[in-house]
Amino acid sequence: MREVAVIGVGMTKWGELWKKSLRTIFVETALLAMDDAGVDRIDSMYVGSMSSGLFVGQEHIASMLADYLGQSPVPSARVETACASGGLALRLGFMEVASGMSDVVLVSGVEKMTDVSGYEATYALGSAADQEYEGYHGITFPGLYALIARAHMEKYGTTREQLALVAVKNHCNGSKNPLAQFPFEITVDSVLNSVLVADPLRILDCSPITDGAAAAIICPAEMVRKMNKPVIKIIGSGHATDTIALSSRKDITWLEATYQAAKQAYAMADKKPEDINLIEVHDCFTIAEICVLEALGVVKRGEGGKAAEDEITFLEGKIPVNTSGGLKAKGHPVGATGVAQTVEIVKQLRGEAGERQVKDARIGMAQNMGGSGGSTLVHIFERE
Amino acid sequence: MTTPSRYWREIPQRYRLEANKCKNCEITFFPPRLICPQCKNRELEPIKLAETGKILTYTVIRVPPHQFVDQAPYAVGIIELDDGVKITAQVVDCDFEDLKIGQRVRIEFRKIFQEGESGILCYGYKFVPE
């Protein structure tokens, strides 16, 4: 396998981008990544998109986006594993470059979520759960994570305040990220007094509806060395699945797909959790970050809630988590999220993260999850 | 989005609680499966679900999908039935404040939602406290 590196990244300001179409958001972002990499052409591309069909009524976006990026006839594929689609795009691009099939590959993700009403967006997101055996009974995505949260609180004594602290931390980091949808701080009180969505989760426990894209250019590490640019290598990649229905799992509080994907990534990278300097995790809801940290082996099983309380995951803590602001503050255009995590890790490892820079960051990890945990991608990056 | 064929084909599960069980490792699956994920055995026998169980976890949905707007707020739980199967369904005929993990419940046949003014009336199982 060839060594693979990220040579360019791109992301534009996320939010409710009413003036911009899916293709415009995508092309603006992909061009930023190409400019950052210093390339004007690519060999192939992958686009992560969870549900362009339900959000904008447009399928077949791989060809459309290759065309509008001025890159036809290069091969282009849209890939989908719900909210983990972006992470999957990265993995497939990584495999293509590692195998020697292609040299310069664009990996990207895009979602345009505000062209539909809130109800339709809720429906589209709900299609990542088991439609016949979960959705049929009126459960929503906040509802599924609320079921996990209640079980975690009962089993491990995780508190409502610990959940709130995850959102407070991520907003604090997000306030230092000018591209974030909600770049401002919040307090524990504001979380605890925000409107209930699905008990015990409140609106400030939930990531928002967002329009946005993210892109990265990956290529053989040798090529980056020759160009005298910072070499940010992808040294580990893992991908695993679990049951789509939450109720089918042995332990509702345990994210087995995340555990399995992390195990693969650690083995490939020959690293342990304590070797990692910073992590971007899939905090679609506050409880998700807590469970993910346990499954990644960063904290012991059941101690995810304490991680935020003890501030070990804060920017100045032992292992900063979601320095970008996470899905909570940065926004969550579902298909783009996995690639945006790569953008953040690369900026951090290059020392370009500004006010939120983690000192001496050399090894970073990204965990991107689909549905209630039915798909997970984990990647580990290292600055040479 | 429920069409007659899509609704009709799930009736054995939603009306009659038809599940199946791996003949080798004796795990019960709902909905029924063609292969046991545990031992990969393809010989499974039909079985009916237990009708009682306990609440493993629950939530109260305050922001519902559009078909459920007239029902919100409503409780949804994951119930562990006495045969070990875990299923997701609404818990009704109770005050939210009285809900607790471990509480005994039983299955009842109820209307779940209706598809607009002229669409299908969708039925299935819900849980009520024992």
DSSP A71-110: -TTS-EEEE-BTBTHHHHHHHHHHHHHHHTS-SSEEEEEE
pLDDT of residue A119: 87
pLDDT of residue B3: 86
Nearest-CA distance B59 → chain A (Å) = 5
Give the residue among A180, A215, A159 at the shortest CA–CA distance from A346.
A215
Domain boundaries, chain A: 4-117+210-226, 128-207+236-383
Amino acid at residue number A10: G
Active site residue A282: no
pLDDT of residue A304: 98
Spatial contact of A252 and B78, defined as CB atoms under 8 Å apart:
yes
CATH number of A4-117+210-226: 3.40.47.10, 1.10.10.10, 3.30.70.330, 3.50.50.60? 3.40.47.10
Is the confidence at residue A349, as pLDDT, over 70?
A: yes
CATH number of A128-207+236-383: 3.40.50.920, 3.40.50.12780, 3.30.950.10, 3.40.47.10? 3.40.47.10
Is the confidence at residue B2, as pLDDT, over 80?
A: no
User: Which residues have CB under 8 Å from A60's CB, separation 6+?
Assistant: A78
Overall domain count for chain B: 1
- B36 in contact with A at a CB cutoff of 8 Å? no
Is the confidence at residue B96, as pLDDT, over 90?
A: yes
Task: Give the DSSP H or E segment for B75.
Answer: strand B74-81
Indicate the residue of B61, B86, B96 with minimum beta-carbon distance to A138.
B61
Catalytic residue, candidates A83, A206, A219, A291: A83
Strand partners for A198: A201, B61
Residues of A with CB under 8 A from a CB of B: 119, 122-123, 126, 132-140, 142-143, 146-148, 150-151, 154, 195-201, 245-248, 252
Coil, strand, or helix at residue A258?
helix
Quote the percentage of chain B above a pLDDT of 90. Answer: 92
B51: CATH: 2.40.50.840
Spatial contact of A322 and A367, defined as CB atoms under 8 Å apart:
no
Where does the pLDDT of residue B119 fall: very low under 50, low under 70, confident under 90, or very high at 90 and above?
confident
Taking CA atoms, A112 is separated from A23, A55, A90, A365, in Å, by 9, 7, 20, 26
Coil, strand, or helix at residue A47?
strand
Is the confidence at residue B82, as pLDDT, over 80?
A: yes
Give the residue among A134, A179, A156 at the shortest CA–CA distance from A304.
A156
User: Which residues form the domain of B13?
Assistant: 4-129
pLDDT digits (tens, 9 = 90+) for A260-313: 999 999 999 999 999 999 999 999 999 999 999 999 999 999 999 999 999 999
Asked if B60 lies within 8 A of A199 by C-beta distance, the reply is: yes
pLDDT digits (tens, 9 = 90+) for A222-246: 999 999 999 999 999 999 999 999 9
pLDDT of residue A43: 98
pLDDT digits (tens, 9 = 90+) for A52-96: 999 999 999 999 999 999 999 999 999 999 999 999 999 999 999
Where does the pLDDT of residue B115 fall: very low under 50, low under 70, confident under 90, or very high at 90 and above?
confident
Nearest-CA distance A280 → chain B (Å) = 28
Mutate to test the interface with A, among B6, B17, B27, B78 (most CBs of A within 10 A): B78
Asked if B88 lies within 8 A of A197 by C-beta distance, the reply is: no
Active site residue A219: no
pLDDT of residue B123: 97
pLDDT digits (tens, 9 = 90+) for A33-48: 999 999 999 999 999 9
Is the confidence at residue B1, as pLDDT, over 80?
A: no
Average pLDDT score, chain A: 98
